[in-house]
Amino acid sequence: MTIDNTITASGGILLAVLLVLLARKQFYRSLPFFFSYQVWCLSSTAIGILAASLSMPTSDYFRYYLASTAVDALFQLALLYEVTRAIARNNRTAPPTWRLLALLLILGALLLGSLSNWPVPTRLDRLSLLMVRVQQALPILLLVCLLSVVCWSRIRSLQWPAPAMHIACGLGFYFLICLTVAVVHTHQPTGLSYHLVDEFPPGAYVGVLGYWIIIFSYTGSVIR
């Protein structure tokens, strides 16, 4: 069994276990975005297996990858919003104001603008170049959003509910791995080693799934 197949199979099994656990404890009521995201991940895994079995052309696979990545990013932003809302509800305070959101957008735009100075592997076609840029941009944007939530809660001295804290920890670890892979790719030629480095983000998410399964096994279903 290849590394790809091992990670895919492990991720599918852990996603199914996590969904059963979340459903039994009714986390879909207090964390609807989190529950929906795991459903999407399981569906995306199944679609990816089907696409591989049908020997999808490379250009079609890249289009599928970009579309699924866009959906992933939207879900992850929704998760960060859900974490922020849970913190605000737990402390009976208002969510971040539009000023913080504007500052967040400015910081994100500045960091994303710095990507123009990042090198990329040579001899890439247009779709591959777009994929590399997406892999660079999304971790930065998502980390900026997560760190903004952390700074906001720290400045306001807010308490984090346990489920929101563990979701944020898992996401933060995953975003850091994705950003590290993007940085490594900027100094790496294309080839077998390039693909092997790409195995780290899905492998990291498998680890995060295991972490969430352990944590949510002992966590109550209500965010107070």
pLDDT at 104: 64
Note the pLDDT tens digit of each residue in 1-59: 577 778 888 999 999 999 999 999 888 888 999 999 999 999 988 887 777 677 777 77
pLDDT at 23: 92
pLDDT at 5: 76
121-131 mean pLDDT: 67
Beta-carbon contacts of residue 33 (< 8 Å; ≥ 6 apart)? 75, 78, 79, 81, 82
Note the pLDDT tens digit of each residue in 154-163: 888 888 998 9
89-113 mean pLDDT: 67
Q: How far apart are CA 19 and CA 71, in angstroms?
A: 19
Residue carrying the six token digits 């492990």 = 10
70-76 mean pLDDT: 92
Q: How far is C-alpha 108 from the geometric centre of its chain's CA atoms?
A: 17
- Evaluate if residue 193 carries a pLDDT over 70: no
